[in-house]
Structure 1
């Protein structure tokens, strides 16, 4: 797959001069503004959440990404108004990835490879760093840690005792990232936060409660969290964090189907010449003929028959997918096949094998003669499931904001702005396209360092408004879009 790459950088310079003349040739001086916290108390700040709090980017957790994590950026500004020390469970290096008993359970980070050959096939694009992870789960780090962002965590995981038990990582009962930093084998994320008596907190959780379902193509191997469970978990988290009078910030959950992980791979990425198209159509002739027969029997409507009919032509073609929402025609020997449409979302990893041969058999081509399984595609009904759950979760979050009089960052609205043409951050544009959009890192899910900085500024703005602080904003130029291959 060729991804069109183009830097979109808005550059401008502002020059101004101020000339002042006076009889005594003196110049005016201005006092430096004193930074205040308003009614907030930043002396002990804790951040709870998932990978978005941890600083996960480019498909991994690594030192440079953690340095540019959203909470770490915030803590730097909080320090200007009385904020205390902010500690993070820093990984060993900038390789990324993680091991358990020496076995790799998390891959190294991605980097952008620029192919020096401009002629096709140009192989520029994201690549996995060729290195071995050195961060070992069982090599524990000592806290307490102010940044309790745990990659992979769902809402209810933050309340679960034993979620950081090393012995439970291999069976999926514990989280490797929390295991290396938990205060004990039966600790909970919330418990490790509360023992620090926080005076201020940020909580951004809930994305994974729908993201897991989306990443699996909605095949139900990772179900959306039940709304009752989410409500209980989220309410418990906020009640615990505010019990002793701490103030803080809550974040909404964006519409994840608009992020590059789900929008980069086109529905019709299969090029084909006329001869090949004719050959493939012959292979689907019996299937298409069977659809005509079952329509005549009244088993499906004419509309569904048309939607299921598979036809390839010269040029680019839609992939063939399995759609479990289609009428079950197994009694007639017909599978649930159709070609994708613009409404379908192919997940990013599918780009690595669409159009390739299965087991080197030239007649078995992924996405053509071998339909893509449900786990590689989000069909309309699955997208609707995500939208419905996200709306329900955000209603719970907004209710907690209002009930506890907390600050609120509408991350959903911010992502919508980025997706609808982009936003301006200082002299730069942030857009949602993969690689060169600037907002999302190479994994298509997590922000770049500059994206995290933008989110930090939006957080600082709501804190200033809600609590009467005057925390300064950070500068876009101080945060990179890419981490180089040689970063170690």
Structure 2
């Protein structure tokens, strides 16, 4: 009997020692803390090129909530395969080959969420999408994110309610994490810089963000804000190089159209060749030369297949973080979670988690990037969650235990 009592005391002690101390985050009125997540694809848990329940449940906000002792963190989970997701392999030509696992019918609306949720991040949300409601007449608003906003509002409000307006209705907020702008840069790179610009990010506060941050902080909520990784480091955008393409086609000249196909130029070594079908065809020796683009001046690659040096020079994520993120964080007294430095450290190939897991940034063979080469794996999300927890512990005098990342290997 005495041994049983001792064992119970030991178990009770361990339980107490693992109970998170929320420090300054703990509500003064003694009520349960409400944590909400504001963000885009990263916060929403997009993985393997899709949105689905298993991925959503390993989103870093959900992992952070669990470590905070919040086990009813509500998310707008999708059923089954959700929007669908993809797997990737490298074929004998060293090409990336993607296989889609089908999900919900894109022609149908997603099911409505009746209950209030806490992860308010919208997949594919851009800064430009905050202020405006969805409208077929507004070419600058990305309708891809608004199908997920539509789940949270009534049918009558669709195309009338913006993300900003929706968030203004949230009544109780004690703590929030904030991650926006990442997808803007990703979308710019993926489009090859064609038909879009990233210059507006230098004045992102003019697109509803100031109003959004005012709404959050006016409720006396505390928060933590993430900066943006350097997307040009992502290995999927560096997978195919000019040298590889030249060697695969036994030529020194690859031709690219520019200025809406009004001109043709010769590719340069600093060009970034994106993972498009046209680039994949160039790397495939089973495809006849006359069926490939880029080998002749009269059949050049599309501008959208390549990010040129001029387009690359418009992207200065480091400068953007310093000029925009840092002042916003200071104005609203939000500590910054330095994803820029985290990713840089991971890309060096020697990043080891606190519990001893080596993070491999290689693509597609590593453990940090999911099959889309952009969003993180479950392990990658756990790494990011720990960065948030470290900042929260430091800034808010909290003692929230870190996640054991080893549990997320190969999930």
What is the TM-score when the length of structure 1 is the normalising length? 0.70
Runs of 4+ with >6 A deviation: 165-169
Alignment of 1:43 onto 2:15:
no
* Residue-by-residue CA offset, 1:279-319 (whole Å, 9 max, x unaligned): xxxxxxxxxxxxxxxxxxxxxxxxxxxxxxxxx2xxxx564
Q: Distance in 1 between matches of 2:374 and 2:90?
A: 21
For residue 128 of structure 1, the aligned residue among 89, 99, 106 is 99
SS in 1 for 2:311: helix
Alignment of 1:89 onto 2:63:
no
Is the 8 Å Cα contact of residues 355 and 365 (structure 1) preserved in structure 2? Answer: no
* Partner residue in 1 for 2:302: 373
* Partner residue in 1 for 2:43: 53
* Residue-by-residue CA offset, 1:263-286 (whole Å, 9 max, x unaligned): 11222233669xx85xxxxxxxxx
Shift of residue 193 of structure 1? 3.6
Within 5 A, what are the aligned runs for 1:420-431? 420-425=348-353, 426-431=355-360
Q: Which runs of 5+ in 2 are unaligned?
A: 1-8, 27-31
Is the 8 Å Cα contact of residues 45 and 58 (structure 2) preserved in structure 1? Answer: yes
Q: Distance in 2 between matches of 1:218 and 1:122?
A: 26
* Partner residue in 2 for 1:299: none
Classify 1:62/1:126 alpha carbon distance in 2 versus 1 (closer, same or farther; 3 Å).
Answer: farther
For residue 143 of structure 1, the aligned residue among 115, 125, 133 is 115
Q: Distance in 1 between matches of 2:232 and 2:225?
A: 21
Shift of residue 479 of structure 1? 1.5
C-alpha RMSD over aligned residues:
3.3
* Partner residue in 2 for 1:385: 314
Name the count of aligned residue pairs.
Answer: 382
* Partner residue in 1 for 2:86: 110
Classify 1:196/1:175 alpha carbon distance in 2 versus 1 (closer, same or farther; 3 Å).
Answer: same
Shift of residue 475 of structure 1? 1.3
* Partner residue in 1 for 2:200: 226
Q: Distance in 2 between matches of 1:460 and 1:77?
A: 8
* Partner residue in 2 for 1:63: 53
Shift of residue 452 of structure 1? 0.6
Shift of residue 366 of structure 1? 2.4
Q: Distance in 1 between matches of 2:180 and 2:142?
A: 20
Shift of residue 357 of structure 1? 9.7
* Residue-by-residue CA offset, 1:206-237 (whole Å, 9 max, x unaligned): 12232222111112x12225146412333222
* Residue-by-residue CA offset, 1:77-111 (whole Å, 9 max, x unaligned): 122xxx47311111111x242xxxxxxxxxx2112
> Hey, which of these two has a bigger chunk of helix by percent?
2
Alignment of 1:189 onto 2:116:
no
Shift of residue 446 of structure 1? 0.7
Shift of residue 168 of structure 1? 9.5
Classify 1:142/1:36 alpha carbon distance in 2 versus 1 (closer, same or farther; 3 Å).
Answer: same
Shift of residue 141 of structure 1? 2.2
What is the TM-score when the length of structure 2 is the normalising length? 0.82
Shift of residue 394 of structure 1? 4.5
Q: Distance in 1 between matches of 2:377 and 2:203?
A: 31
Bigger radius of gyration among the two = 1
Is the 8 Å Cα contact of residues 214 and 386 (structure 1) preserved in structure 2? Answer: no
Q: Which runs of 5+ in 1 are unaligned?
A: 1-27, 98-107, 278-311, 483-488
Is the 8 Å Cα contact of residues 45 and 60 (structure 2) preserved in structure 1? Answer: yes
SS in 1 for 2:242: coil
